[in-house]
Amino acid sequence: MLENKSLVEDPKKGSSRRDFLKKSSVITAIALTPAAAVKASDLRLDEKFSDAIEQMPLSLQINGQPYQLKVEPCTTLLDLLREKLKLTGTKKGCDQGQCGACTVHIDGVRTNSCLTLAVMHEGAKITTIEGLADGRKLHPMQEAFIKHDALQCGYCTPGQIMSAVACIQEGHANSEMEIREFMSGNICRCGAYANIVNAIQEVKGGRS
Ligand code: FES
Ligand code: FES
């Protein structure tokens, strides 16, 4: 009787092919199993992997203290200060460069920290509202704001004070009009503007 050889399995070959198929299925099953995925997510492997790739070293001096940091390139200076370093005196208002609540000094220049990436300031000296006072002694501008009632809800106040200090340093506080013009990037919803001008004029005149 004729045998169709192609339909007859060599028992040895057949078993090794079955083994191979079995092993491949197991490997595939492990790869696709939700448990493996859960394990990877428990270990936060994706985050660790992306952190390793995305974090960049950054040295800053903030309020006189040196900081060696690792930050994602997309982190704004504002988020670095508030979220990572917990320097929450700098406020987030619009987060679009329109209200001035986030004003800090970078190498002495006032800047909206919501509009600039932290990694752009390697080696810079940053001053926030927390760095203005000398220990327990308030900065003259802080004293003047309190004296002149230049704050109501206080939310815009840190940014107003940082801009006010810079305004005098820049030589832009020679008249009420000039002060108003150079403070116009800082919005106060409570309308404390008249008192803010008074506070700045007093510090400018050295009368605080
Ligand atoms: S929060 Fe930066 S300008 Fe408004
Ligand atoms: S004091 Fe309230 S927003 Fe300025």
Q: Which residues have C-beta within 8 Å of that of residue 148, sequence separation ≥ 6?
A: 195, 196, 198, 199, 202
Distance 186 CA to ligand 2 centre (A): 10
Q: Which ligand is nearest to the CA of 114?
A: 1
- Kindly give the distance from the C-alpha atom of residue 189 to the centroid of ligand 2, in angstroms, as a whole number: 5
What are the pocket residues of ligand 1 if the criterion is a CB atom closer than 6 Å to any ligand atom? 92-95, 97-102, 112, 114
> Over the Cα atoms of the chain, what is R_g?
31
Kind and range of the H or E run holding 106: strand 103-106
Beta strand spans in 85-157 (E): 103-106, 109-112, 125-127
102-140 pLDDT, tens per residue? Answer: 999 999 999 999 999 999 999 999 999 999 999 999 999
**How many angstroms is it from 68 CA to the middle of ligand 2?**
34
What pLDDT is stored for residue 2 in this prediction?
41
- Ligand 2 center from residue 101 Cα (angstroms): 9
Tokens 């008192």, residue located? 195
Q: Tell me which residue has its CA closest to atom 4 in ligand 2.
A: 188
β partners of residue 137: 134
The CA distance from 135 to 104, in Å, is 19
pLDDT (mean) for 156-171: 98
Q: Residue 145: what are its φ and ψ, rounded to 5°?
A: -60, -40
Per the listing, tokens 């092993």 go with 23
Distance CA 201, CA 94 (A): 28
Task: Give the separation between CA 177 and CA 22, rounded to whole angstroms.
Answer: 84
pLDDT in tens, 44-91: 666 666 655 589 999 999 999 999 999 999 999 999 999 999 999 999
* Best probe residue, ligand 2, of 102, 156, 196, 197 (max atoms within 8 Å of C-beta): 156
